[in-house]
Amino acid sequence: MNSLERQRKLFIISSLAIPVFLLVCFVVFPAIDLFRMSFTNWDGLSPTSDFIKLDNYIAMFHNPDLWQSLKNNGVYFFVHLCMIPVELAFAVLLNSKLRAAKFYKTMVFLPYIINGVAISYAFSYFFSPVNGAFDSILETIKLGMLSGHGWLSDEKIINFTLAFVSLWRFSGYHIILFMASLQSVNQDIMEAARIDGANSWQLFRYIQTPSIALMVDFVLFDNIRGAMQVFDIPFVMTQGGPGYASSTFTLYTIKTAFTFANFGLASTMAVAIMIIIILIYIVQNKIIHGFILKEGK
Amino acid sequence: MKKLLSALLASAMVLSLLAGCGGKTGGSGAPANGSNPGGSGTAAGDLKGDLVFAIWDNNLLEYIEDNDMVGKFQETYPNIDIEVEKIKDDSEYWNSMKMRASANQLPDVMFNKPFTLSRFQDYLLDLSGTEACKNNTLAQGYALNGKVLGIPMTAGYEYVYYWKDMFQEAGVQVPTTWEELKDVSKKLQDYFGAKDPDFMAIALGAKDEWPTYPYMEFMPALVSGNGQNWNDMAKSDAPFASGTDINTAYHRVYDLFTSGVLGKDPLGMSKDQVTNLFAQKKAAITALGDWGLQDISGAADSTDQLGTFYLPVRESASEPFRYIVQGDSFMGVTTHSKNPEAAKAFVEWFYSEAWYPGYINYVSSASSMANFPKDKDPILAEADAAQPDGEMVMYDGGGDDFTALQNETTFDYKKLGAQMLTNGFDLDAALADLDAKWGAARAKLGIQ
């Protein structure tokens, strides 16, 4: 092995060792420890804990409030999922020769870079039943009969209110991701298709969509991960209430750990949410690639 | 090369495992109660070290900063440095302290509430030998197994704040029984609600859930006159059954909450929002601790018409009138402190002539120190004047058994208060469900 070769290998190893070390310390080891804790009754304070086999897993399945919380996560998931085609349409629109496109791009992305807690506070006041801007807007546009619905207190609509805030915040991020991938589509192919007489819909359906499939995959995964782990918006705006009407899986996990001092059960929930995310992703992938995108391949 | 990489990975894992074990074993060494009073027998100049003092109270932080607490302390103890660490609010404070307790990283000096004392008891030193403890009127009452684990900084009273001019305009008097409170609230709601649909006779802020505490946390103790009611609950298999104090109290709360006196959407607004509305006289009544006076005064144009009374829980005027008092903000020294003697010296100094009188006069809360009595603010003193024969109930936040059962059954009284306001809520079913869980939890945990 010559000197250059040795130096090259040394560089590669040291470049790998540091991230691997950090990964092991801060991801792999905590994940293993989380899994271990999920079989204990640790209260978060005691120096010791008992191994209680599958008791936490059984308790988790018998907890109606937790499943109510997971159902609430479902609202975020489906609302965001329904918006993905719209986000894609916006991205295509902003990617075309549109007047003041740069301004629109900035406006679309702006909510994503604002602090999430600040947004949640602002929307708490926006949807307030007294002096709330949303009700005032409804009254101004002669839709006063829709106002005063308890946007943050009615169990039937509270999750949709929160999902709307989540949409407002995250849609711009998805649009920017779609735009970035649309810009990477090979222009020669687009030009050739145009010469062959393809219209805008055909260009979108048969060239752009397959070209950005990877990004669609990522956005879909990001949607599952984000929807299943949503925390700051319900935490600040409603504390998961009233009762557990707007609680989410993560919110309930944190309450279990810190309010009810049951870190063992909370760890079980954290393991469960990891498994749920992976399962939903696999199923969604099968549906998207098995049926919807099959034609395009 | 593969061997080298494997060796690196293996050592990384071993290191991280060792680091993890270190955290746990450190925790096991936590309970080590000392009893030597801070600084006694040691010259002030001999004590040295760095202390971390963790707080959540905005008023305390403001006073500490404005009055250079560290500088004043160092005039007596020049070799002790103090870092004041402010945490957002008390909820975040407990979360942070729990994490730090397990990581062996508690601050040297921390605060507790009555309901957290038992949770942190293994991490707090006994302060019963200190002068601060001897002069404190409440500390001994909260001792656990004979150990005083924190010195209450203030004596906490709960008040109902109201606007006198609004009462006068609506033609109602200060209530002295629960029925009168319901009646007065209804009249206020009908009178002012007719002009303003956003009006609330009682401002609650149930969106935050915790503002239901004056009713949900204290009323069972007030109904029975038993400040130890949570601890007694732990001795029963069915503490929520019909006829029990908690059942009676929660039915009264439910009747009040569902009578329409909380305005059009009490679940849609936070405590901050309703306190501001109360300050603007968009609400006539609000129940808060003594600390609430500072919040209201800060938001109101004038407090000339602001008055207080104690929450009237009794059913009839022939029953004794009871009100709650509790030790608040229990300052304790943790077992994780590397300089426990310096930390105790700080506690002694905090409750001495050099600091405490100035602080207690700055806040609206009452003094807990016999050697530094404080006259109540005239607004708060009105509640005492209205009930000169009132019976004080010393509130205990609940001991080990209650806390264990509360965690096991996920009994959250503040959340339950907010749930009462939801459509289709069935209080009897909720209490029966809690009873079933409570009995099962006692059997599981072996609590007698």
B24 to chain A nearest CA, in Å?
6
Tell me if A241 and B20 make a contact (CB, 8 A cut-off): no
B412 to chain A nearest CA, in Å?
9
- Report how far Cα B358 is from the mean position of its chain's Cα atoms: 22
Tell me if B277 and A43 make a contact (CB, 8 A cut-off): no
Residues β-bridged to residue B152: B330
Give residue B291's pLDDT: 87
Determine contact, residues B433/B267, Cβ cutoff 8 Å.
Answer: no
The rounded distance, in Å, linking the Cα atoms of A20 and A239 is: 37
Span of A98-107, B2-11, B50-59, B102-111 with lowest mean pLDDT = B2-11
Beta strands in B124-277 (DSSP E): 151-163, 200-203
Residue A200 has a CB neighbour count (10 Å cut-off) of 11
Reported as a single tens digit per residue, the pLDDT across B25-65 is: 333 333 333 333 344 455 666 788 999 999 998 889 999 99
Residue of A nearest to B4 (CA): A13
Determine contact, residues B301/B115, Cβ cutoff 8 Å.
Answer: no
Give residue B262's pLDDT: 96
**Which percentage of chain B shows pLDDT scores above 70?**
90
**DSSP state, residue B301:** S
Q: What is the mean pLDDT of residues B113-140?
A: 90
All residues of chain A having their beta carbon less than 8 Å from the beta carbon of residue B444 are none
Residue of A nearest to B26 (CA): A47
The sign of the torsion formed by the CA atoms of B438, B439, B444, B446 equals: positive
The rounded distance, in Å, linking the Cα atoms of B404 and B119 is: 9
The rounded distance, in Å, linking the Cα atoms of A45 and A47 is: 6
Give residue B44's pLDDT: 67
Give residue B168's pLDDT: 97
Reported as a single tens digit per residue, the pLDDT across B194-250 is: 999 999 999 999 999 999 999 999 999 999 999 889 989 999 999 999 999 999 999
Tell me if B268 and A262 make a contact (CB, 8 A cut-off): no
Residues 6+ apart with CB under 8 A from B301: none
Angle between helices B2-28 and A29-37 (to 10 degrees): 50
- Choose, out of B269, B277, B405, B409, the residue to mutate when testing the contact with A (most A CBs < 10 Å): B269
Range B230-246 burial, b when 16+ CB lie within 10 A, else e:
bbebbeeebbbeeebbb
The rounded distance, in Å, linking the Cα atoms of A150 and B423 is: 12
Tell me if B12 and A20 make a contact (CB, 8 A cut-off): yes
**Residue length, chain B?**
448
Tell me if B423 and A155 make a contact (CB, 8 A cut-off): yes
Taking a contact as any Cβ pair under 8 Å apart, which residues of chain A between 217 and 246 contact chain B?
238-239, 241-243, 245
pLDDT reading at B4 higher than 50:
no
pLDDT reading at B18 higher than 60:
no
pLDDT reading at B11 higher than 70:
no
**Residue length, chain A?**
297
Amino acid identity of residue A107, one-letter, is: M
Tell me if B207 and A241 make a contact (CB, 8 A cut-off): yes
Q: pLDDT class for B365, splitting at 50, 70, 90?
A: confident
Omega before A242 within 30 of 0, i.e. cis: yes
**Which percentage of chain B shows pLDDT scores above 90?**
69
- Tell me whether A11 touches chain B (CB under 8 Å): no
B43 to chain A nearest CA, in Å?
35
pTM of the shown model: 0.81
Q: pLDDT class for B14, splitting at 50, 70, 90?
A: very low
Radius of gyration for chain B, computed over Cα atoms and rounded to the nearest angstrom: 24
pLDDT reading at B411 higher than 90:
yes
Q: pLDDT class for B8, splitting at 50, 70, 90?
A: very low
Tell me if A45 and B423 make a contact (CB, 8 A cut-off): no
Span of A130-134, B30-34, B86-90, B302-306 with lowest mean pLDDT = B30-34
The CA angle B293-B298-B299, to the nearest 5 degrees, is 105
Residues B397/B399/B405/B407 CA torsion (nearest 10 deg): 60
Give residue B1's pLDDT: 44
Q: pLDDT class for B398, splitting at 50, 70, 90?
A: confident
Span of A130-139, B77-86, B191-200, B425-434 with lowest mean pLDDT = A130-139
Nearest CB to B268 within list A9, A33, A129 = A129
Residue B327 has a CB neighbour count (10 Å cut-off) of 27
Give B361-394 as a DSSP string: HHSSSEE-BTTS--PPPHHHHHHHHH-TT-EEEE
All residues of chain A having their beta carbon less than 8 Å from the beta carbon of residue B282 are 130
Nearest CB to B9 within list A20, A46, A258 = A20
Determine contact, residues B226/B395, Cβ cutoff 8 Å.
Answer: no
Encode chain A in three state secondary structure.
CCHHHHHHHHHHHHHHHHHHHHHHHHHHHHHHHHHHHCCECCCCCCCCCCECCCHHHHHHHCCHHHHHHHHHHHHHHHHHHHHHHHHHHHHHHHHCCCCCHHHHHHHHHHHHHCCHHHHHHHHHHHCCCCCCHHHHHHHHCCCHHHCCCCCCCCCCCHHHHHHHHHHHHHHHHHHHHHHHHHHCCCHHHHHHHHHCCCCHHHHHHHHHHHHCHHHHHHHHHHHHHHHHCCCHHHHHHCCCCCCCCCCCHHHHHHHHHHHCCCHHHHHHHHHHHHHHHHHHHHHHHHHHHHHHCCCCC
Nearest CB to B1 within list A9, A17, A21 = A9
pLDDT reading at B5 higher than 60:
no
- Choose, out of A130, A237, A246, the residue to mutate when testing the contact with B (most B CBs < 10 Å): A130
Span of A7-21, A276-290, B134-148, B278-292 with lowest mean pLDDT = A276-290
All residues of chain A having their beta carbon less than 8 Å from the beta carbon of residue B1 are 9, 13
Give residue B257's pLDDT: 97
**Helix (H), strand (E) at residue B112:** strand B109-112
Tell me if A130 and B282 make a contact (CB, 8 A cut-off): yes
Nearest CB to B268 within list A47, A128, A245 = A128
Give residue A217's pLDDT: 87
Tell me if B207 and A127 make a contact (CB, 8 A cut-off): no
Give B190-212 as a DSSP string: HHHHTT-TT-EEEE--GGGSGGG
Give residue A29's pLDDT: 95
The rounded distance, in Å, linking the Cα atoms of A95 and B16 is: 48
Give residue B37's pLDDT: 37
Give residue A291's pLDDT: 67
Give residue B33's pLDDT: 38
Positions of chain A with pLDDT under 50: 296-297
Nearest CB to B264 within list A28, A129, A241 = A129
Give residue B71's pLDDT: 94
Nearest CB to B17 within list A20, A29, A150 = A29
Residue A274 has a CB neighbour count (10 Å cut-off) of 14
Give B22-38 as a DSSP string: HHHHHHHT------PPT
B438 to chain A nearest CA, in Å?
14
Reported as a single tens digit per residue, the pLDDT across A270-279 is: 999 999 989 9
Tell me if A130 and B273 make a contact (CB, 8 A cut-off): yes
**Helix (H), strand (E) at residue B80:** strand B80-86
Give residue B141's pLDDT: 85
- Tell me whether A68 touches chain B (CB under 8 Å): no
Reported as a single tens digit per residue, the pLDDT across A85-103 is: 999 999 988 888 777 878 8
The rounded distance, in Å, linking the Cα atoms of B25 and B228 is: 35
Residues β-bridged to residue B307: B162
- Tell me whether A144 touches chain B (CB under 8 Å): no
All residues of chain B having their beta carbon less than 8 Å from the beta carbon of residue A269 are none
- Specify the higher pLDDT residue, B286 or A50: B286
Tell me if B418 and A242 make a contact (CB, 8 A cut-off): yes
The rounded distance, in Å, linking the Cα atoms of A108 and A110 is: 6
Give residue A147's pLDDT: 77
Q: What is the mean pLDDT of residues B142-150?
A: 90
All residues of chain B having their beta carbon less than 8 Å from the beta carbon of residue A47 are 24-25, 27-28, 30
- Choose, out of A125, A153, A233, A258, the residue to mutate when testing the contact with B (most B CBs < 10 Å): A153
CA-wise closest residue to B93 among B329, B364, B395, B350 = B329
pLDDT reading at B19 higher than 50:
no
* Average pLDDT over all residues of chain B: 88
